[in-house]
């Protein structure tokens, strides 16, 4: 996954196309590679050996594949690990309450320091094909996410729609609450 495209690449602003059903072996392998990158990049020894920046999510468009699939691998604030490959997602509900990451968001496709806050919905509900490793296939599911996992999901979902977080930066968000009062997290 050394081929992550960077800010300024025209495909980062294009809308990704849905995967054909049933999801192909090559699309499944793409999803597994995206997830593997996220897992390895968060291992401090491996990310140094492979010169990787840590990332909690990676979208296919970031590796120059305009398909609606991404992977997330994160540890929530309560210590719960969320690790999944998401294909053809559709957000069906967005809470009115807005939140943001205190230190702002980051992105593997953005190589510069950014200042500002990105508003995100505190809770979302979505439908998607989620990879089930025990069955080795994608299953259609509806899920609800809130707080940090919801922020990460919305960040990756934006990639599928050709949106980078840097286009949604604000100096302040008076109608949104910080995810954490004192700590900071980065995507």
| CA nearest to 127, candidates 106, 142, 113 | 142
Q: Kind of pairing, strands 176-178 and 137-146?
A: unpaired
7 is catalytic: no
Cβ–Cβ under 8 Å, residues 18 and 90: no
C-alpha of 163 from chain center: 12
Which position among 45, 156, 181, 182 bears the catalytic label?
156
Q: What tokens does 110 get? A: 């953005």
Give me the active site residues, please.
Answer: 156
């Amino acid at each position: 996954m050394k081929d992550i495209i960077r800010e300024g690449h025209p495909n980062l602003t294009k809308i990704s196309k849905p995967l054909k059903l049933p999801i192909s072996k090559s699309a499944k392998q793409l999803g597994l590679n995206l997830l593997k990158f996220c897992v390895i990049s968060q291992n401090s020894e491996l990310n140094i050996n492979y010169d990787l920046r840590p990332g909690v999510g990676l979208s296919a468009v970031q590796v120059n594949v305009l398909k609606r699939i991404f992977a997330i691998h994160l540890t929530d604030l309560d210590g719960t690990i969320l690790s999944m490959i998401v294909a053809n997602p559709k957000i069906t509900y967005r809470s009115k309450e807005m939140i943001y990451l205190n230190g702002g968001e980051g992105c593997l496709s953005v190589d510069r320091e950014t200042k500002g806050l990105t508003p995100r919905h505190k809770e979302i509900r979505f439908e998607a094909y989620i990879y089930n490793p025990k069955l080795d296939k994608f299953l259609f599911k509806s899920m609800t996410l809130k707080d940090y996992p919801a922020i990460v999901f919305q960040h990756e979902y934006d990639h599928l729609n050709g949106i980078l977080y840097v286009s949604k930066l604000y100096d302040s968000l008076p109608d949104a609450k910080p995810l954490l009062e004192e700590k900071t997290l980065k995507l």
